[in-house]
Structure 1
Amino acid sequence: MSSINTNIAAMTALQALNQTNKETLVTQNRIATGLRVKDASDNAAYWSIATTMRSDRQALSTVADALGLGAATVDVAVQGMEGAIKIASDIKTKLVAARQPGVDRAKIQSEIEQLQSSLKSVVDTATFSGQNWLAVDSTGTTTRTLVSSFSRDSTGAISIGTIEVDLSSTGSMLVDTSGGGAGILDSVRTAPGIGDYTVLTLDISTLTDSAADLQDLESFVSGVDAAITSMTDSATGLGAVKSRISLQKDFAKSLMDAIDTGVGQLVDADMNEESTRLQALQVRQQLGVQALGMANQSAQMILRLFQ
């Protein structure tokens, strides 16, 4: 039926063209943004999951930064510990040389004092970002905590993992800043004829070649050697902590990459598919315009009946 009131063909063609235009707009947006799910209206479930995963990914990035800071702090402590071991070894060498009868121990003591000053300087300057793991107050908190991981379980509960390093006398404390003598270098040791001393305060300038004084010298050598052994053990422990931090940092980066891939699988657009679809929609759009034009021309045919 032909009607001048209702052009069914034109209405149908217009609806098809409008639908094609909507699909074209969606495809163009996907190509422009690279996203198949840009907001909740595209796919509420996928958008919600992707948003949570992106938030967790940012938290993991912060963890990786914290691990980098922790690694730098530990590295400074390790370098300070190695420097302290080298200087303490030099002190032990001077003490062994002083064991030889007839040497001028006062002159050797002046060299030892310079080494002791260097030892204190190494400990004091082994600081990074306001933290010194070698000079510690034993009356306060002697454990240092580093953020190492971030995770979310199936219920959505969040947990943050940490690495704890004990800086007490069994850890890396070389000097007790409280004066309690809990550090490796300032711990009190005893020589038979002299009494109490520390690696940082021992003095051989008054010692003679008597058997008692030579025994004291040997006690000094044993005391410094024991300190070197303790520092070596502490350096080994710090090295293990550094290796663990490095592993955690690598894992955090791998986990961030995995999350990026997972989010991409949910929300990223397939550019090959979308570009192919856009070409097809553009053809449909052109055909829809032509079909609408033909449908509108059908009303002109009615006028010819009256000519």
Structure 2
Amino acid sequence: MKLDAETKTFIGQRFLLWLCDLKADGADWVPVRLFFQAHGIREKDMWKITQAVADKLVEHHVGAGGYGSYQVRLTDCGVKEAKGLRRAVLSSPVRTKYTWDALLKWTFKSRSGIPLDANAFLGTQESCCFGEPMDRNDLDEALVYLRDEGLIETDGHVVLRITRDGFNCVMGDVKVSDYVNRRGGGHMYSTNFHGPVQGAQVGGEGNTQNNAFTLDASELRKFAAQVRELAPQLNLDETVEAELVDEVDELEEAASEASPEAGKLRRLFNRVMQLLGSAPDSVIAQLLLTGGQQAITGVLGR
């Protein structure tokens, strides 16, 4: 399994939660290989990921046996961090993209020429994202996304068929997000055709069509909601935290407008990121900063 930087960060967060669960069950020093072998992660990646977890969160011990004897245990600070991190990890962009890929590949593998009940995907080995089972919300969102991007055809929770684009994506061993971006699709913009509305006209006489381009700022709305939820765990001064929440409210409101303004979104987003950048360094702060950059890129393309 080749891991990009985003996925390595995500696995490191899952690793932290795994240690927290074991500590709650009374475990102390834990062999690292148990987690990484269970998730098919290479030994050299295991070392990089665990070393990236801040020393204040875990203690490390490597015996004479090298990697094979490598153990860690969670500190009290790590327990606190993990508890605050749990919900944020479950809504991570990595989890969302993983679900897209897993559902499309499962659909491809399970195709038999007859409609397929997507509910059967839940509970399969493919429906676990680094040890965390996907739920119905994950499935519903992935079905809608894959359908809207033309990779599958659906009727509710029934997958009628995988499309040519879906087939090409799987056979080319390409991630769904990469395939959609290369194809020039994605949900950065949605095109609505109305008439008559103000906009550029296309077509000749008797064939006039008006089009308007509307920013899809849903990723910024999700980001704003996540910042509001996790703000109390950023250890900000009360005045700064209150200011952050106010700015987040404005960003969410701007992103919810019928025709969001790119300049306004950028200005409010930059202010939120500035306030997040003033928070003490923590896994949650880094998660939000990373998520913010992904959200603004998805909406404005840069």
TM-score category, normalised to shorter length: under 0.3
Scaled by the length of structure 1, the TM-score of the pair is 0.22
Q: Which structure: greater helix fraction?
A: 1
